[in-house]
Amino acid sequence: MRLALLISVALLATACSGYPATGARDRFSPHSDGPPSASLETRAGKSRLGLSSYCWKFPGRARVCQPAIPPKCGRPAQWVENVAVERGETVRADLGYAPDVASVEGAQAKLDGRTVTWRVEHGGAFRLFTKGQKGEASYVGCAVLR
């Protein structure tokens, strides 16, 4: 009886938490089990970027890695947020840490401290890769051209 109650409570807690059943961390909140969150500023406003794959090192702990499948637009379960942007617009990602390297697939990215800028030429899923002393993290979004 107690075991059944404990299992029920555990299942309810998992269902009500901000975590999917896979154990991945919340896509926006900076928790202790993943890299800091990131946001993207466009002319339309500020949006949060989803967290994709990462490997992150914490003091006194082993390196924590979380693989992810490639981002796809229109799949909320993958936490790929829509970001309204104009073709040719330069966007700015604000990171929660200062990486040594940053890149965006299909674009020329410029890194300046905790900020990465690039020009959006195409709509669709994008991935911002970052790497620093504590590890590496990829952030994702879906550029929706206006």
Q: How far from 28 is each of 4, 25, 80, 120, 146, CA to CA, in Å?
A: 33, 9, 11, 22, 24
Range of the domain at 67: 26-145
Please list the rounded mean pLDDT of every run of 10 residues in the chain (146 residues). 37 32 39 82 95 90 88 74 95 97 96 98 96 95 94
Q: What is the pLDDT of residue 125?
A: 93
Domain count along the chain: 1
pTM: 0.76
In a domain, 15, yes or no: no
With respect to residue 49, please indicate whether it lies within any of the assigned structural domains. Answer: yes
Residue 21 placed within a domain: no
How far CA 18 is from CA of 11, 21, 57, 73, in Å, comes to: 13, 10, 22, 21
Assign residue 86 the CATH number of its domain.
Answer: 2.60.40
Locus of tokens 């992150």:
56
CB 72 within 8 A of CB 132: no
Instruction: Report yes or no on 114 lying in a domain.
Output: yes
Residue 48 is predicted with a pLDDT of 93
Q: Quick check: is 141 in a domain?
A: yes
- Any domain includes 18: no
> Per the domain annotation, does 4 fall within a domain?
no
In a domain, 14, yes or no: no
